[in-house]
Structure 1
Amino acid sequence: MVNMLRLPIRAFSSLPQLPKTSFEPGPYQGPTAEEISFIRQSNVTPILKPLYQKPLMLHQGHMQWLYDNKGKRYLDMFGGICTVSVGHCHPKITEAVINQFNKLGHVSSLYHHPKLFEYSKRLAEKMPGDLKVVYLLNSGSEANDLAILLARLYTGHTEILSLKNCYHGMSYQTMGLTSVGHYKYSVAPPTGFHTVMNPDVFRGPWGGSKCRDSPSQTSRECSCESEECKAGHEYISVLKNEFRSVVPAGKLAAFFAESIQGVGGTVQFPENYIKEAYRIVKENNGLFISDEVQTGFGRTGEHFWGFEGHGIIPDVVTMAKGIGNGFPLAAVVTTKEISEALTKAAHFNTFGGGPIASTIGLAVLDIIEEEKLQENSLSVGTYLLTELAKMKERTPYIGDVRGKGLMIGVEMVENNKNLTSIAPGKFSIFLEKCKDMGLLVGAGGYDKNVVRIKPPMCITREDADFTLSVMEKALKYID
């Protein structure tokens, strides 16, 4: 049997050609790959594992492009795990950071420095309703951790619900929210956390061909008899029952939900599920907390925030990743009334809202507006989703295509007739061959069988065509 992973990439003719760019990377002058490997084994925590069998050694980036230590160019369609929002080393961000470092690098929020206030105001202006109070931090885990504290302080309740298959962080407390076994350690869990059925219209017990707010739907037959989503009603019925069994009547602290599940494999919920869940949360006197760590800042295309596509205004919004285009920056945004709960004791973050972080945050907002990246996410993302759905019809290895804008998931299966998740070895071959042809995509989902496409929002239609060509070619290696 031929080992397809070792088969030369030129075994298949007419390989896709990377779109042209005028950018020229500088020469790599750091440690060799062998030295890096030794350091990794000797000095770096063993939990850090590379995505590829042969680790990819990157040293420079520009917009949607990444370059390895040998100068090879790659199209980055994963964006540093949905984090690089406006482009690698965007010149406007670089210039702003240099200018700010020349003035002031760091002071804490114990002192007034203009950038924290300028950025907090600009960010609050992007929020609907009474979501006008901003607390700046460094990561999504920190943001969700603070949101837990805030909800319990404000409501006086302890019980918190989240959806199965969700990912909300890896701090000890957010591990209670996260519901993917890969990210749970065998230690005593934090108390007061409960997970409820995930309304997954592809893998769950209910779902059809009209359930999702997406250009691409599942291949399941839809049994809806009207414009109302029957699957959504079924999942809401289950949610109501789970409320009755795990939450003391009327004493919920919070319900957490991503607008589209990210790490869990770009899972979308039935239309109106989140709106109905919000109503149930309010009936139980809890706060609805929207995790916009991956879906925020225009990535879903039609709206700046993912929750806007669900027709709700949450009580608390958490955000990170794309907020800083790769720089450690995060935020919790809530109402004035709810924010007052945190004043019951002292709470402080040394680096949150520092001059550099705030400067970058401002530059990211400017770039998204000036370069119309939200509009680009909608245009290029819809094209990608539509073409990937067509690709699904041409191969047995794609079971589902889903998402909105430039937040896309492609679930790979052994056969789209029985929907068994593709074998890890085959999925690894697919990722390796994409990489060899110059395309970087991510992996997600409970079985690690979902191709995650979440690139810098500056990608072009030409980049999308290259992505489609490479993916279709890489599928041939697992036939």
Structure 2
Amino acid sequence: MEHKQPTYIGPEQIIDKRKAYFYPCTQHFYQKPPQLVRGSMQYVFDEQGKRYTDFFAGVSVVACGHCNEEITRESVRQLQTLQHTTTIYLTQPMVDLAERLAEVLPGDLRRTFFCNSGSEANEGALLLARMYTGKSDFISMEGGLHGRTNLTMSVTGIPMWQTDPYLYPGVTFIPRPFDHKELHAQLSENELTPAARRSLEALQAVLDAKGDKIAAMIVEPIQGNGGIIVPPKGYYREVKKLLDAHGVLLIMDEVQTGFGRTGQMFGCEHFGIVPDIITMAKALGGGVPIAAFASTDTIAAALSKPSASTFGGNPVSAVTALAVLDYIERERLVQRAAERGGALKSALLELQQRYPAHVSDVRGEGLMLGMEILADNPTRGAALVDQILEQMKDNGILIGKNGLNRNVLAFQPPLIITEDDVQSMVNILDQVLAQIGESNVS
């Protein structure tokens, strides 16, 4: 059978069709974006055959690489065997996956509800908290991103992602434990920064005022879209103590941090705590849509009214997720993320020393790292970030951006990234920063 060579319409026609058929909210990176047509592990290729090293991984999705043959083989086999049933029928992949997750989840989190996206997982977690506590309201953190449904948007603390003008009013935001004035503070293991103490004081005040109405607090262990913000090590232990004293649950949104990204299987493990409910998506499916929220036997028992998910626990998604977990374990990707991430962070810190006029901070854990550009002039920093992204893309490197002001470079590559890939990216970034350094900082 003869295989036809695919015909690519090219970036300009894709942009034209997006303008014609998409909602205007759908945007894209780059002034001159490529059309991506193929992926292979840490690389993607455009319509002209140019190769790019992917240092963003679809925002932490393809942790095991693009089109990983070992994982794709299992997905295809299941696709050809039994493609779809819902949770109302009995199939083995979803229960095997739930059992496997119980083995890797922290503490006694062992009950899982499968769904399709991070937004849906967070929505389900918030519902579970309400059902268990009998309370309606929530605490969230400024700078957090939790989804695009009404309720998850309501607990999102980034203005640019709060599209709905009629958000749920029963959400109280507290300051995040971060202040640019404390960027280079040296802390002992359990020491808290002044910003972390202010955050805890704000939490205490909210709990004292209306703890009897609050079902849960939802947080990312490390804020992703908010700019790769890592709290001091002891911060979440103090948060958990305060919440427990008022009967308020802690939901950890591990959609971006889960499954090895930070050098631990889950981000909460950096802080020595186990949340009451945990949410997950992204890396679990390696590009195939799957998400879940998990809790303890006691808390999960509250979600007893009939419920189902048409695509949650889909056989293809569940088999793919099992293959992802097998690959992460077999290839030691959690340890690899810690090692590669440590090397990358050291290299980025060296660049900060070389270009202090532009690079304000380097932060993160494992292969979830951020480099903030011009923290004291974020508008100019955001423009420079776009310029850096464009030049890196032209040199065959794709990196991301985030932060409340979009002035943070995001390095979140597949966990299978090699030492040579890291060094090559750093060398190119060095050249790009040097070129930018030739212009005056305004």
TM-score scaled by length of structure 1 = 0.87
Give the gaps of 5 or more residues in structure 1.
1-25, 214-226
2:208 to 236, 244, 258: 244
Q: Which residue of 1 aligns with 2:418?
A: 460
Q: Which residue of 2 aligns with 1:253?
A: 215
CA distance in 2, matches of 1:181, 1:211: 31
Alpha-carbon spacing, 1:130–1:338, altered in 2? closer, same or farther (3 Å): same
CA distance in 2, matches of 1:34, 1:422: 28
Q: Which residue of 2 aligns with 1:223?
A: none
**Are residue 290 (structure 1) and residue 258 (structure 2) matched?**
no
Alpha-carbon spacing, 1:234–1:184, altered in 2? closer, same or farther (3 Å): closer
- Over the residues paired in the alignment, what is the CA RMSD in angstroms? 1.8
Aligned residues of 2:222 and 2:257 also touching (Cα < 8 A):
yes
**Are residue 392 (structure 1) and residue 352 (structure 2) matched?**
yes
Q: Which amino acid is 1:228 matched to?
A: E
CA distance in 2, matches of 1:352, 1:186: 26
Offset at 1:186?
A: 5.3
Offset at 1:270?
A: 1.7
Q: Which residue of 1 aligns with 2:440?
A: none
CA distance in 2, matches of 1:258, 1:357: 24
**Are residue 442 (structure 1) and residue 400 (structure 2) matched?**
yes
| Deviations 1:77-130, CA, capped at 9 Å, x for gaps | 000011111000000111101111121000111111110111110111111322
Q: How many residue pairs end up in the alignment? A: 432
**Are residue 267 (structure 1) and residue 234 (structure 2) matched?**
no
**Are residue 66 (structure 1) and residue 44 (structure 2) matched?**
yes
| Deviations 1:263-309, CA, capped at 9 Å, x for gaps | 111011122111100111111101111111111101111x2111011
Alpha-carbon spacing, 1:431–1:249, altered in 2? closer, same or farther (3 Å): closer
CA distance in 2, matches of 1:391, 1:32: 35
| Deviations 1:177-199, CA, capped at 9 Å, x for gaps | 10101111251111311111111
Q: Which residue of 2 aligns with 1:148?
A: 126
Offset at 1:56?
A: 2.1
**Range with bigger deviation, 83-92 or 426-435:** 426-435
Aligned to 1:173, the other structure's residue is in SS state helix
Higher helix share: 2
CA distance in 1, matches of 2:5, 2:394: 21
1:209-228 matches, cutoff 5 A: 209-211=185-187, 228=191
CA distance in 2, matches of 1:270, 1:212: 9
Aligned to 1:308, the other structure's residue is in SS state helix
CA distance in 2, matches of 1:234, 1:342: 35
Q: Which amino acid is 1:229 matched to?
A: L
| Deviations 1:365-418, CA, capped at 9 Å, x for gaps | 00001111111101110001011111101101110000110000100117xxx5
Aligned residues of 2:385 and 2:409 also touching (Cα < 8 A):
no
| Deviations 1:43-100, CA, capped at 9 Å, x for gaps | 1222111110112210000000000000000000000011111000000111101111
Aligned residues of 1:429 and 1:477 also touching (Cα < 8 A):
no
Q: Which amino acid is 1:458 matched to?
A: I
CA distance in 2, matches of 1:207, 1:39: 44
Q: Which residue of 2 aligns with 1:82?
A: 60
Q: Which residue of 2 aligns with 1:8?
A: none
Aligned to 2:38, the other structure's residue is in SS state strand
CA distance in 2, matches of 1:199, 1:228: 12
Q: Which residue of 2 aligns with 1:366?
A: 326
Alpha-carbon spacing, 1:129–1:47, altered in 2? closer, same or farther (3 Å): same
CA distance in 2, matches of 1:454, 1:115: 29
Q: Which residue of 1 aligns with 2:288?
A: 327
**Are residue 349 (structure 1) and residue 309 (structure 2) matched?**
yes
Aligned residues of 1:317 and 1:334 also touching (Cα < 8 A):
yes
CA distance in 2, matches of 1:423, 1:309: 30
Aligned to 1:187, the other structure's residue is in SS state coil
**Are residue 306 (structure 1) and residue 233 (structure 2) matched?**
no
CA distance in 2, matches of 1:176, 1:274: 22
Aligned residues of 2:39 and 2:66 also touching (Cα < 8 A):
yes
Aligned to 1:342, the other structure's residue is in SS state coil
CA distance in 2, matches of 1:37, 1:277: 46
Aligned residues of 1:28 and 1:59 also touching (Cα < 8 A):
no
Alpha-carbon spacing, 1:364–1:312, altered in 2? closer, same or farther (3 Å): same
Offset at 1:476?
A: 2.8
CA distance in 2, matches of 1:380, 1:208: 23
Which stretches of structure 1, 4 residues or more, deviate above 6 A after TM superposition?
A: none
Alpha-carbon spacing, 1:178–1:211, altered in 2? closer, same or farther (3 Å): farther
Aligned residues of 2:138 and 2:217 also touching (Cα < 8 A):
yes
Q: Which residue of 2 aligns with 1:20?
A: none
| Deviations 1:200-246, CA, capped at 9 Å, x for gaps | 14x2x656522498xxxxxxxxxxxxx6334343432233223334x
Aligned to 1:103, the other structure's residue is in SS state coil
Give the gaps of 5 or more residues in structure 2.
438-442
Aligned residues of 1:153 and 1:342 also touching (Cα < 8 A):
yes
Aligned residues of 1:399 and 1:419 also touching (Cα < 8 A):
no
Alpha-carbon spacing, 1:158–1:426, altered in 2? closer, same or farther (3 Å): same
TM-score scaled by length of structure 2 = 0.94
Offset at 1:422?
A: 3.3
2:241 to 279, 289, 294: 279
Aligned to 1:391, the other structure's residue is in SS state helix
Q: Which residue of 2 aligns with 1:98?
A: 76
Q: Which amino acid is 1:111 matched to?
A: Y
Alpha-carbon spacing, 1:399–1:421, altered in 2? closer, same or farther (3 Å): farther
| Deviations 1:3-38, CA, capped at 9 Å, x for gaps | xxxxxxxxxxxxxxxxxxxxxxx9652323343233
1:46-61 matches, cutoff 5 A: 46-61=24-39
Offset at 1:420?
A: 4.8
